[in-house]
Amino acid sequence: MVNRVLKLHQGHTIDEFRVCFDVNGMKYKSEIDNWISFSLRKKVKRFLLEFKPIMSDFRYTLTMKFLHESSSNLLCGDFLTDLCLSNVEVTAEVLDCVLSNCPSIEVLRVEGSQSLVEFKPSFPLLKLKHLMISCCIFLRIVEISAINLVSFKYCGRVTRMLLGDLPNLVEMSLSLQYSDILVDNRILPSHYFPQLETVINNLLEISLSFQYSDMLDNIILNSCYFSLLETLVLELPAMVDSLHFCSSLLNASPVLHKFIIKLIGLEDVPAEGNRTVTRAEYPHQCLKVFELIGFVGCAIDMELAMYIINNVVSLEKIIIDTRSPDVEEMLPDSRDHEKNLAAIACARQLETRLPLGLLSLSQTLIPSISHTQSNSINMSQEVIAREAIKHALKALRKRHLLEEGAHAPAFIAISGPIASQGSEWKEKAENLELELQQCYKAQSRLSEQLVVEVAESRALKALLQEKEEGITNLQTELTQTRDECSQLQADLEEKIKALELLVSENHQLKTELEEMTNKAKNAEAENKMLVDRWMLQKMQDAERLNEANAIYEEMVDRLKASGLEKLAQQQVDGVVRRNEDGAEFFMESTIPSICKHRINAHEGGCASILFEYNSGKLVSGGQDRTIKMWDTNTGSLSHTLYGCLGSVLDLTITHDNRSVIAASSSNNLYVWDVSSGRVRHTLTGHADKVCAVDQLQCSLLQHGWTNHLFWSR
């Protein structure tokens, strides 16, 4: 039947192609492929395959092979804006191929595909505005980039959602566990839906379907959790026994305008007695429309309605729908007549149970109760109307039979010639119809060929234009490349000249470097020779110095010996003279026998003392880093020399008594001018303390610790 209808279609385009019945996809796969090819050839805008749910083994499968065979039609897929694949097996690769060849898709719906494991298009979906994914039980991840996405609906198992930047998303519908994640602070959405917390702040409409009722009693949402939300749709399961969840949602949605609650599976037990609902401390200020679907008049839905009436200030309309939301398409007679009447009666009682305060404060905004139930309020009048219609139909049928019996002879007389002429006309009409069908077929074939040829010509024309543009671009690029090549060649010549100059300079520098290296080697050899000669000279000087020291020591020994001889002679002469002269004018011994003066010279001890040449002054040096000069006749201090940085270990004085030289523990020698008391010279060069110092007749200063060093005076 579908194929016949498609053959009779003579138009060039189709706005919508929709298939919505049960079909065996395995048995009629070729027919479905032909339907898809036909719709693509007709440049369909809305393509909807809404098959009924059957076993996956008998579902239609959209394959890559068919897409490659229909690539000529898919390449012209800019016209397709709405695509629905319901109960169609499609893989991620096939869906990516379809989306890549149809970039103008604004609405995409994928339902009931067990072959879809991941939905990750390889390119941004720039025009996609509405996305719906439902009942894809093996789907693991949804990762897209759709900056213009306005609404997103997902129903199924929890999977990882990576939706990129969604600045325009204002509507969202979530079901089952995702609804629990959205409202339950104890469930962290960071792994499954990292953007969930940021997305909900910009939503204007959201639909939530919950799976379990026991978790709704403990939900506490933060204030202004849905800061911009205007429409909220809730699908609540049976056995909901608390208003805590709805009150928490109202507090979290400060600008909510429309609130829809769908109650599924409520027991049809009417509420008994008067129920009181407490008023909230802060009533809602913006809610205008409240719709309650699945109303049966029990305690739960009556409490919900009364809570909204008592705690909403600007309420304008309440819609009570007694149809059950779990029945497909909400059939009007899905519930028993008596139960409907009881539910309607309970709904009517809400007007009488409105709080007096609300009636007095907002009389112009008194909530009105409208019923979308197709049954009338007064069911007895509807029954009477149906019976009247049946009676009228019976009367008309009886009258028609009587008229046929009265005019039967006339009909028989006229029917003969009319029948003969009618048979001829029928044959002619059939022949004409056959000819017309053949003409239609020929016209359809010609139109199809024409469409194909026009499409091919357009494609070839577009391809030719692209090639011409490509040739022009290539010529422009070639000209630019030639200019760049000539410029690069000129630069290359300059670089070559510069390189040659650098090479020549490098050779020259190498020659100079070799010359300098040779000179350095010669200088090093000369330096080594000079060092050797200098060391030899030093050794000779040291030998001479050693000889001079030996001569000096020998002279000192001789002087000491001569002094002892002279002293002994003087002593002997004194004894002899005393014996000869009667001991009156004998020479006394020069060796002192009594202490003349006791001098406390230095703190810490005195390290060295000596007398000036041909003078009675005593020079001392000690641990207090000073040198003091004493008058031996009076025992008084005559002069103090400062400037030594260490303890004085040895002293010497020049032959003219003008300078005092001290050896110090600070590794230095110090020379003082006696007349001014200032340090004239500081002699350095020792690595350790200087323990001895002496002044030679040859104007050399000798001192040392483990070796001898000399300074010229």
Q: Are residues 703 and 567 in the same domain?
A: no
Tell me how far apart the alpha carbons of residues 585 and 127 are, in angstroms, rounded to a whole number.
145
In a domain, 157, yes or no: yes
Q: Are residues 111 and 19 in the same domain?
A: yes
Q: Are residues 646 and 579 in the same domain?
A: no
* The total number of residues written for the chain in this structure: 713
- CATH of residue 8's domain is 3.80.10
Query: Which one, of 85, 120, 130, 129, lies nearest residue 100 by Cα?
Result: 120
The reported pLDDT for the residue numbered 370 is 40
Secondary structure in 3-state letters for 341-381: HHHHHHHHHHHHCCCHHHHHHCCCCCCEEECCCCCCCCHHH
Q: Which domain holds residue 653?
A: 606-712
H or E element, residue 33: helix 29-41
Q: Are residues 590 and 611 in the same domain?
A: no
Tell me how far apart the alpha carbons of residues 229 and 207 are, in angstroms, rounded to a whole number.
11
Q: Are residues 574 and 662 in the same domain?
A: no
Q: Are residues 583 and 658 in the same domain?
A: no
Q: Are residues 39 and 117 in the same domain?
A: yes
Tell me how far apart the alpha carbons of residues 448 and 466 are, in angstroms, rounded to a whole number.
26
408-581 vs 29-41: helix crossing angle, rounded to 10:
80
The reported pLDDT for the residue numbered 583 is 46
Q: Are residues 584 and 619 in the same domain?
A: no
Strands 708-712 and 700-704: antiparallel
Q: Are residues 590 and 625 in the same domain?
A: no
Domain-ending residue, one of 111, 134, 169:
169
- CATH of residue 696's domain is 2.130.10.10
The reported pLDDT for the residue numbered 68 is 64
The reported pLDDT for the residue numbered 354 is 57
Q: What does the block give as tokens for 231? A: 């429409």
DSSP state of 604: T
Q: Which residues contact 461 (CB under 8 A, 6 or more apart)?
A: none
In a domain, 135, yes or no: yes
Tell me how far apart the alpha carbons of residues 176 and 237 are, in angstroms, rounded to a whole number.
11
Chain center to CA of 309? 47
Where are the extended beta strands (E) located within 98-212? 107-111, 118-119, 130-134, 141-143, 151-155, 160-162, 171-175, 205-209
Tell me how far apart the alpha carbons of residues 411 and 142 are, in angstroms, rounded to a whole number.
72
Tell me how far apart the alpha carbons of residues 237 and 215 are, in angstroms, rounded to a whole number.
11
In a domain, 495, yes or no: no
In a domain, 620, yes or no: yes
H or E element, residue 260: strand 258-263
In a domain, 361, yes or no: no
DSSP state of 470: H
Give the total number of structural domains in the chain.
Answer: 3
DSSP state of 61: B
Domain-ending residue, one of 169, 202, 222:
169
In a domain, 547, yes or no: no
Please answer whether residues 684 and 700 qualify as being in contact, where contact means their C-beta atoms are separated by less than 8 angstroms: no
Strands 160-162 and 171-175: unpaired
Q: Are residues 577 and 647 in the same domain?
A: no
Domain-ending residue, one of 554, 572, 594:
594
Q: Where does 284-332 have alpha helices with state H?
A: 299-311
Q: Which residues contact 591 (CB under 8 A, 6 or more apart)?
A: none
In a domain, 222, yes or no: no
**pTM over cut 0.85:** no
DSSP 3-state of 232: strand
From residue 538, alpha-carbon distances to 529, 532, 703, 706, 709 in Å are: 14, 10, 18, 18, 12
Q: Are residues 33 and 140 in the same domain?
A: yes
Q: Are residues 590 and 613 in the same domain?
A: no
In a domain, 73, yes or no: yes
Question: Which segments of the chain have a pLDDT < 50?
Answer: 75, 222-224, 327-334, 355-380, 583-587, 698-702, 704-710, 712-713
